[in-house]
Structure 1
């Protein structure tokens, strides 16, 4: 399977209103970058990650989301369009299905090698991007979570890079499967214990989910 990077997006933290009298800081809104962007360690160059307990780290170094799913959400929310980076994705893809990616699947993106680790589990900050829409609840049920990825071989990425799946584990557990189990079907947690490539935070959840 192959597709294309439509946009590479990074963002810096800024205030998104307040909660319980305290300002809410988030880098969820990201902007497309011109040229090529270095990707190494645990993030894209220039991309800020707030609340590292839940965001960032090696298992969530890159977040990919399909442009086709952005278009679907625009229709659902009654918008003309949703710009790349709006929901916090670093890579906006075309002709790639992050939701159907198998955990541990490896993507070659330009010179970079990435491995799929987890779905996005939505938090309240997504609701601050689309207030009054019930987006957090709807996102959790839509099956369009996008995929987090780990950096295996660093490099730089840019719009127009090909995305090629170069390896896919035989276990067959997809990003969408993990999201469904974690959010709605806890009784199936044992299925995730046989997925060694799963993000460590979700693996720990699965180990304690009896």
Structure 2
């Protein structure tokens, strides 16, 4: 897996339901390396830290392989890497093979796979329609957030290399499906209850389905 674009955002204002909202979803490619900190990418806008940034969402990765799908749905938008809100656009990133808890070398940083991205109203605003939210869920390829174990720089051309595998775990693709499935896989939920790679808030949310 190779990094083909590094992306950051400046704060962007828009009006939503009569209120002014700031977002960092309008990411653009950079021509310099980016630095992965423990809770965010240095210099990148994180407008609402209740849902972005922090230990389990320090950096967001999305696969370049899914860009043709989204460009096909929205050909009239201005397309650059970073369009899906990712800090790192990664060639051949495959959510079905990214196991929660796995550890990767990413440039000079060390990161751990944590949780998928869930689409929100800011994502819908950027694409100009609420339809994109269900389309994102139906497509199933969410990209992944990572925890930064060791801070470091990442630049275009760097590889994403697996250095430590989780013995028992589920993939980012499986967790994303679990979040929206009507019938929850309780075996998957139980595995997640024993994981230190997802936030307690998500564990509490999933635990409700074990009753």
Same fold (TM over 0.5): yes
Tell me the equivalent position of 2:2: 4
1:14 corresponds, among 8, 12, 15, to: 12
Give the drift of 1:170.
2.5
**Unaligned regions of 5+ residues in structure 2, if any?**
none
Preserved CA contact (<8 Å) 1:189 1:206? no
Q: Distance in 1 between matches of 2:83 and 2:42?
A: 18
Tell me the equivalent position of 1:205: 205
Preserved CA contact (<8 Å) 1:87 1:129? no
Tell me the equivalent position of 1:107: 104
Other structure's SS at 2:157 match? coil
Other structure's SS at 2:185 match? helix
Preserved CA contact (<8 Å) 1:99 1:145? no
Please list the CA deviations of residues 87-139 of structure 1 after superposition, one character each: whole Å capped at 9, or x if unmatched: 21011001221453111111111111110100111111111111136101110
Give the drift of 1:194.
1.8
Equivalent residue runs for 1:116-195 within 5 Å: 116-132=113-129, 134-185=131-182, 187-189=184-186, 191-195=188-192
Preserved CA contact (<8 Å) 2:38 2:147? no
More off after superposition, 182-191 vs 67-76: 182-191
Give the drift of 1:27.
0.5
Q: Distance in 2 between matches of 1:120 and 1:146?
A: 6
Q: Distance in 1 between matches of 2:150 and 2:25?
A: 25
Please list the CA deviations of residues 65-89 of structure 1 after superposition, one character each: whole Å capped at 9, or x if unmatched: 0011122211133358731111210
**Distance change >3 Å, CA 23–CA 186, structure 1 → 2:** farther
Given the alignment of the two structures, is residue 35 of structure 1 paired with residue 41 of structure 2, yes or no? no
Other structure's SS at 2:184 match? helix
Preserved CA contact (<8 Å) 1:119 1:147? yes
TM score, norm. by length of structure 1:
0.91
Q: Distance in 2 between matches of 1:89 and 1:176?
A: 17
Query: What CA RMSD, in Å, does the superposition of the two structures yield over aligned residues?
Result: 1.8
Other structure's SS at 1:150 match? strand
Preserved CA contact (<8 Å) 2:6 2:89? yes
Give the drift of 1:45.
1.0
Q: Distance in 2 between matches of 1:91 and 1:28?
A: 13
2:93 corresponds, among 89, 93, 96, to: 96
Higher strand residue share: 1
